[in-house]
């Protein structure tokens, strides 16, 4: 393919993603605000029917805050700022535990604490979102809250003996029996998923607060990935560990594999660790190649694979496709190999064909092995958020410099 052909391909890709970003943001602006009880609704179904008394999750609200802050940073629009401020104020008023520190997992539809456990994953996303909001608004209060949450995680959740972060605690930061993010997860003390998003949150915080202790913790997290999470034989990421870094599962998550490639590189670049940047570029190529194992013939990326019993979860979830788009695009930028650019664009073609809800807005949760919409899943919910898909659009748009 000639350079002119590539430029045409990139220009079309950028144009379509700009249009899709506008659609995503318009959907959330129109349907998500809870005009009766404040903040945003906790659940909306595929037909855009609201469950007005659904619980409101900290992850959903942090991701909404990040999305509209990032949208404003990408394209200043008073509507985006208004929605970001709405999300920020709701988190500050209802999710933050002023007595014990940290973020509640969920509140009820009126804002009363519901599940008061302290899940490190949720706190990491709040750091990520508060940092982005500070970039958009200049709020020193938001910046300080993000810094305070960083110190809280280091003091309460960090393992000074083995490094890494424990998964969860009770409201007052005592040990908890059930550490899991969701029912499908293993009940283990350290997980790749949480560490990846702690890294993501810390990286965004470092952009606004280049503190040496924060840099050190980012560096430790990057080394955790090389030392523990990346399987250097299969080039997939190991997901669940005990406190002494013994792996407890062989499960492969294709979406997390490809997501990690670009988030690890971003972190190393932000702290300007040149040796780590080069090491991550090399390993990212290997991880991207391993991820290709999970691509179906229609260019959609399957959800998970369990090697122990050769079981492939034949579902194609929205967030997995969003991360595939960015991850393969990033791999093309690293390597210059057009194969990866074509994989990113082909995955976007799959998204347009199967995942976009063109009449009603937003993205479906996913499709099954027959390409049928997974009914009964949320359009908005504790896990169904505007973060993966809006971020994929923003990230690739920024990277296409034509």
Per-residue pLDDT of the chain (402 residues; tens, 9 = 90+): 898 989 999 999 999 999 999 999 999 999 999 999 999 999 999 999 999 999 999 999 999 999 999 999 999 999 999 999 999 999 999 999 999 999 999 999 999 999 999 999 999 999 999 999 999 999 999 999 999 999 999 999 999 999 999 999 999 999 999 999 888 899 999 999 999 999 999 999 999 999 999 999 999 999 999 999 999 999 999 999 999 999 999 999 999 999 999 999 999 999 999 999 999 999 999 999 999 999 999 999 999 999 999 999 999 999 999 999 999 999 999 999 999 999 999 999 999 999 999 999 999 999 999 999 999 999 999 999 999 999 999 999 999 998
The answer to whether 380 touches 307, Cβ cutoff 8 Å, is no
Question: CATH code at 168?
Answer: 1.50.10.10
Q: Within 10 Å of residue 287's Cβ, how many Cβ atoms?
A: 23
Instruction: Give the dihedral sign, CA 230/231/234/240.
Output: negative
Number of domains observed in the structure of the chain: 1
Residue-number span of the structural domain to which 66 is assigned: 3-399
Angle at 53 between CA 51 and CA 57, to 5 degrees: 90
Counting beta carbons within 10 angstroms of the beta carbon of residue 347, is it exposed (0 to 12), middle (13 to 18) or buried (19 or more)?
A: buried
Please report the pLDDT score of residue 335 as a whole number: 98
Distance of CA 42 to CAs 51, 55, 201, 269, 294, Å? 7, 5, 23, 36, 32
Q: Which helix (H) or strand (E) holds 388?
A: helix 387-399
Helix/strand number for the chain, H first, E second: 12, 14
Chain centre to alpha carbon of residue 261 = 13
CA-to-CA dists, residue 366 to 145, 183, 363, 380, angstroms? 35, 19, 8, 13
Residues 236, 243: contact at Cβ < 8 Å? no
Structure tokens at 393: 């659009």
Q: Residue 359 carries which DSSP code?
A: T
User: Structure tokens of 75?
Assistant: 């394209």
The pLDDT of residue 1: 81
Closest CA to 179 of 194, 200, 164: 194
Residue pair 326/334 in contact (Cβ under 8 Å)? The answer is: no
**pLDDT for the residue numbered 184:** 84
What CA–CA distance (Å, rounded) separates 204 from 273? 16
Residue with token string 């980012």: 218
Strands (E) across 246-322 are located at 252-253, 304-306, 311-313, 315-317
């Amino acid at each position: 393919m000639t350079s002119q052909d590539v430029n045409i391909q990139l220009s079309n890709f950028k144009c379509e993603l700009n249009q899709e970003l506008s659609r995503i943001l318009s959907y959330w602006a129109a349907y998500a605000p809870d005009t009766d009880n404040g903040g945003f609704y906790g659940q909306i179904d595929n037909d855009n029917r609201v469950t007005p008394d659904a619980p409101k999750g900290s992850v959903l609200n942090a991701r909404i805050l990040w999305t509209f802050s990032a949208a404003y940073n990408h394209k200043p629009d008073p509507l985006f700022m208004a929605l970001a401020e709405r999300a920020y104020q709701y988190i500050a008023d209802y999710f933050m535990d002023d007595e014990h520190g940290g973020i509640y997992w969920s509140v009820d539809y009126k804002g009363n604490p519901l599940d008061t456990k302290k899940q490190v994953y949720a706190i990491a996303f709040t750091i990520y979102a508060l940092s982005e909001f500070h970039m958009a608004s200049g709020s020193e209060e938001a910046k300080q809250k993000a810094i305070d949450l960083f110190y809280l995680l280091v003091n309460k959740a960090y393992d000074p003996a083995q490094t890494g972060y424990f998964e969860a605690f009770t409201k007052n930061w005592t040990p908890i029996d059930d550490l899991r993010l969701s029912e499908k997860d293993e009940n283990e003390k350290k997980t790749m998923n949480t560490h990846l998003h702690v890294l993501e949150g810390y990286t965004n915080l470092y952009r606004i607060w280049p503190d040496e202790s924060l840099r050190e913790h980012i560096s430790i997290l990057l080394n955790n990935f090389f030392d523990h999470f990346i399987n250097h034989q299969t080039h997939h990421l190991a997901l669940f560990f005990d406190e002494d870094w013994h792996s407890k599962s062989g499960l492969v998550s294709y979406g997390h594999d490809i997501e990690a490639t670009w988030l690890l590189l971003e972190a190393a670049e932000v702290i300007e660790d040149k040796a780590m940047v080069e090491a991550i570029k090399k390993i990212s190529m290997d991880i991207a190649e391993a991820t290709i194992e999970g691509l179906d013939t229609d260019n959609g990326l399957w959800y998970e694979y369990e090697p122990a019993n050769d079981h492939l979860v034949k579902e194609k979830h929205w967030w997995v496709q969003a991360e595939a788009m960015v991850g393969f695009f990033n791999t093309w930028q690293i390597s210059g190999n057009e194969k990866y650019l074509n994989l990113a664009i082909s995955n976007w073609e799959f998204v347009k064909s199967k995942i976009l809800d063109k009449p009603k807005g937003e993205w479906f949760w996913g499709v099954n092995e027959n390409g049928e919409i997974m009914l009964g899943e949320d359009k908005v919910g504790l896990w169904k958020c505007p973060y993966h898909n809006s971020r994929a659009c923003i990230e690739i748009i920024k990277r296409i410099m034509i």
